[in-house]
Amino acid sequence: RDVAGAMQLARRHSPTNLKPITAFHVAKALALGLGWILSNEGQPLAAQPLIASARVMLAATKADTMKRYVDVVFAASERAHFGSDPASLRKVLSTLRASYSAFERHFAYRIKTASELAMALTLARDADKLEEAEQYVHEIQSVAGDDDRWQCNAYVLESRINRKRAAMANSAAQKTIFIRAAVTAAKNALEKAESQQGDGGVFNQIDAHIANGEALLLSGKLVEAKSAFEYGLRRCGGNVKVECVCHLHLAEVCVALRQKSNAQRHIECWKSMKARVTNAWLAEMGDRVANLVTAMKDFLVPTEHPSLDERELRMMLRIHLRDTALERVETNEAAAALCGVSLSAFRTWHHLEK
| Grouped pLDDT means (10 residues each) for the chain, 354 residues | 49 56 87 91 92 90 92 95 94 96 90 96 92 96 91 97 94 93 97 83 92 94 94 92 96 86 93 93 94 80 69 85 83 90 91 70
Those residues with Cβ within 8 angstroms of residue 236's Cβ, 6 or more apart along the chain or in another chain: 206, 242, 243, 246
Those residues with Cβ within 8 angstroms of residue 216's Cβ, 6 or more apart along the chain or in another chain: 183, 186, 222, 224, 225, 228
- Can you give the pLDDT at residue 158? 97
- Can you give the pLDDT at residue 1? 45
- Can you give the pLDDT at residue 276? 93
- State which amino acid sits at residue 86: P
- Can you give the pLDDT at residue 14? 43
